[in-house]
Amino acid sequence: MVTRKPVRGSTGRVVHPSGAVGVIVKSPRDRSHAYRVRFTDGFEAALHHNNLMLLAECKQGSIHDADQVLATHGLFDRVIFRCVIGSRAYGLDDENSDTDRRGIYLPPADLHWSLFGVPEQLENDETQEAYWELQKFIIL
């Protein structure tokens, strides 16, 4: 099974992100009760059916549509450094010049740990923006 939402421990802290994989160890007696799911680290949680999906469905569905999954995470809101490059940056712009921006973004940890991963680069051709994922920036 794959979790649709983050799994929280007894302290309320997230112990497994959305997209974590586990095994059902106990089925509910009806749909109003929760499944008992065991994760790879041995942690068990009670999760209702609407917070779970079959791994096969996950692989056939949204995992193949990574753009849809990434769009729901608002990665452009995760930009941590932005600068202007090109003619505007050097004072060589004129009335026909556009504003080119480059920078770095830091994706959320739960997306890093999920089955989807993170894109190396975010681009928006309309606004002439490109942002590298932090790890890619450091390696470059």
**Angle, CA 121 vertex, CA 117 and CA 126 arms, to 5°:** 130
Q: Which domains does the chain have, with CATH numbers?
A: 2-60 (2.30.30), 66-139 (no CATH)
Record the tokens describing residue 30, joined without a space. Answer: 């009806």
**Cα separation of 96 and 102, whole Å?**
20
One digit per residue, the tens of pLDDT, for the chain of length 140 reads 889 889 999 999 999 998 899 999 999 988 789 999 999 999 999 999 888 888 777 766 554 455 555 665 788 889 999 999 999 899 999 999 889 999 999 998 878 777 667 888 999 888 889 999 999 999 98
Record the tokens describing residue 107, joined without a space. Answer: 């994706």
pLDDT at 14: 93
pLDDT at 126: 86
pLDDT at 115: 67
**pTM, entire model:** 0.51
pLDDT at 46: 94
**Cα separation of 99 and 84, whole Å?**
7
Residue 122 near residue 138, CB atoms below 8 Å: no
Q: Three-state SS for 124?
A: strand
pLDDT at 63: 47
